Each structure stands twice: as C-alpha cells, then as structure tokens.
C-alpha cells in the first residue's frame, strides 16, 4: 500500500507571459517505510514539491494523498491538525526553540497537540540519537550535528506517517552529515518510517532506497539505489 500519492501536481506563479511553471504534472507514489531522495539543481522545483507534499503551499492543480487523505480538500483547521499529527519536518536551519532544552524541544510537537508524551519512546529516541547526556542542554550549548539530531527526534516523537527533510545536512560538515544520514536511514528501518529528503548532494542521495530527480519542474524517477 502506498502511503503517499502525488497526482498531476502543477504549480504556476504569476500569469500570462511572466508565468513561472515551477511544477509540471508531477506524479509519483511512495510505499510505507521507503526512504526517498529528491535531487535537482537550485531552482528546479524540488523545494516547491516538498512544500506541496507537506501542505505548506497549495498547488495550482493536482492532488496529494497521505494515507488516503486528500490534504488539499481539508479546511484550514483540519489540515493544521492533520499536518501536526502526520507529517514531521526536518529543516536545514534546525529551527529549534532557543529557550527550550533538548528534551523540551523534542517533546514540543506532542505538547502543542495537547497530548501526553510517551516517556518510554522519548528515552528510546534520546538513546538512539545519542542525546541522553545532552537532554538538559539548550540549543546554544550544542554543536550543529547535535542540533540536527534534536530536530530528527522532534520529527519522530509524534510517530508521523511521513517525514520530510529539506537539505538536512546543508549546514553540517562531512562527519556530522554522515551521522545524520545514518540516523535517517536507521529511522526508516527501525521505525518503518517513510522519509522524503531533498538534497543537492548526489552521494547523500545514494543512501536512499530510491532517487527522484526534478529538473525544470519535471520529475523523473531514477530508480532504486543498490545497497
């Protein structure tokens, strides 16, 4: 069963002669537990596509189904709740809350949804992410790699159906980049987590199960990566 179905997504900015066609009838599907990399040059449309999948922007036409739910048919309030509970985001800039500790940052999405944190799962994530000794530290007391691990934990804590990672290693050195990618791959395997990652780095993309390429708003499936 496919967790994600993207069907004929088009996105056009402007109109007439000045119109920019950022996405052109993009269609693909992702089964549960697959780890997919989306590559493409700057301005190719890959970030626009990620925003459509994450319901952060609306397409000119087309559909996105997550777990069979048509995200763009939902009202604003229902979509906000659905996104909070079903989509985890990992950004290049980490986007941690400076005043909160590692543990508090990771639990924030659960508390925002007025849910009770699963303490056992939190402890498991802290161990997997090697953050137990840093649980009471503020973001300013962490390295870039540690901050990105916190961001991964925050994305995983709600057990979302889908994780979207936008250049998650863009601000990291090569060693920390390798560690973060290894953690994403482990999350895909250990928790059967469905992950879609945007990257400009071809070697990073090779760690995924499958690679999609976006060029001038057109998506091409480059197929599965060899182990």
Q: What does 35-71 look like in DSSP terms, one character per residue?
A: EEEEE--TTSSHHHHHHHHTTSS--SEEEEEETTEEG
Band (pLDDT 50/70/90 cuts) for residue 169 is: confident
Name all contacts of 23-28 with Cβ < 8 Å and 24+ positions apart. Answer: 23/48, 23/49, 23/52, 23/59, 23/217, 24/216, 24/217, 24/218, 25/62, 26/62, 26/214, 26/217, 26/218, 26/219, 27/219, 28/212, 28/219, 28/221
Predicted confidence band at 227 (pLDDT cuts at 50, 70, 90)? low
Task: Summarize pLDDT for 123-135 with one digit per residue, the tens.
Answer: 999 998 889 999 9
**In the predicted model, is pLDDT for residue 30 greater than 60?**
yes
| Residue 112: count of CB within 10 angstroms of its CB | 10
Q: What is the pLDDT of residue 98?
A: 95
**Taking the C-alpha atoms of 181, 185, 191 and 192 in order, what is their torsion angle to the nearest 10 degrees?**
130
Q: How confident is the model at residue 23 (pLDDT cuts 50, 70, 90)?
A: very high
Confidence class for position 1, pLDDT limits 50, 70, 90: confident
Neighbours of 139 (CB within 10 A): 19
By 3-state DSSP, what share of the chain in percent is helix, strand and coil, each rounded to 5? 40, 30, 35
- Which residue shows structure tokens 């001038």? 216
The residue with greater pLDDT, 8 or 44, is 8
199 compared with 227, residue with greater pLDDT: 199
CA angle 226, 206, 83 (to 5 degrees): 115
User: Domains in the chain and their CATH numbers?
Assistant: 2-224 (3.40.50.300)
Strand partners for 194:
162
Q: What band does 108 get if pLDDT is binned at 50, 70 and 90? A: very high
Query: Directed axis angle between helix 102-112 and helix 119-128, to 10°?
Result: 140
Residue 15 confidence (pLDDT): 87
pLDDT value at 48 more than 70: yes
* Stretch 37-51: mean pLDDT: 90
CA-to-CA distance for 103 and 87, rounded, in angstroms? Answer: 20
Give me the pLDDT at residue 72, please. Answer: 92
Kindly report the three-state secondary structure assignment for every residue of 82-121.
Answer: HHHHHEEEEECCCCCCCCCCHHHHHHHHHHHCCCCCCHHH
Q: What is the pLDDT of residues 196-217, one digit of tens each?
A: 999 988 888 999 999 999 999 9
Helix (H) or strand (E) holding 11: strand 2-13
| Interval 133-152: pLDDT, tens | 999 999 999 998 899 889 99
């Amino acid at each position: 069963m496919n967790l994600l179905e993207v069907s004929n997504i088009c996105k056009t900015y402007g109109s007439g002669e000045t119109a920019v066609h950022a996405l052109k009838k993009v269609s693909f599907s992702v089964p549960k537990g697959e780890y997919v990399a989306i590559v493409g040059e700057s301005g190719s449309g890959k970030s626009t596509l990620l925003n459509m999948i994450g319901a952060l922007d609306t397409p000119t036409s087309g559909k996105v189904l997550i777990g069979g739910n048509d995200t763009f048919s939902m009202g604003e309030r229902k979509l906000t709740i659905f996104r909070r509970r079903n989509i985890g985001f990992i950004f290049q800039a980490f986007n941690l809350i400076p005043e909160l500790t590692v543990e508090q940052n990771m639990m924030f999405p659960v508390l925002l949804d007025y849910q009770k944190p699963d303490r056992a799962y939190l402890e498991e994530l802290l161990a997997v992410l090697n953050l137990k000794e840093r649980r009471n530290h503020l973001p300013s007391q962490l390295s870039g790699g540690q901050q990105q691990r916190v961001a991964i934990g925050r994305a995983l804590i709600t057990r979302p159906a889908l994780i979207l990672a936008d250049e998650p290693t863009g601000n990291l050195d090569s060693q920390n980049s390798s560690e973060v990618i290894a953690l994403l791959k482990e999350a895909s395997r250990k928790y059967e987590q469905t992950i879609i990652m945007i990257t400009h780095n071809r070697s990073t993309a090779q760690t995924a199960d499958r690679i999609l390429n976006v060029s001038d708003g057109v998506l091409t499936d480059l197929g599965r990566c060899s182990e």
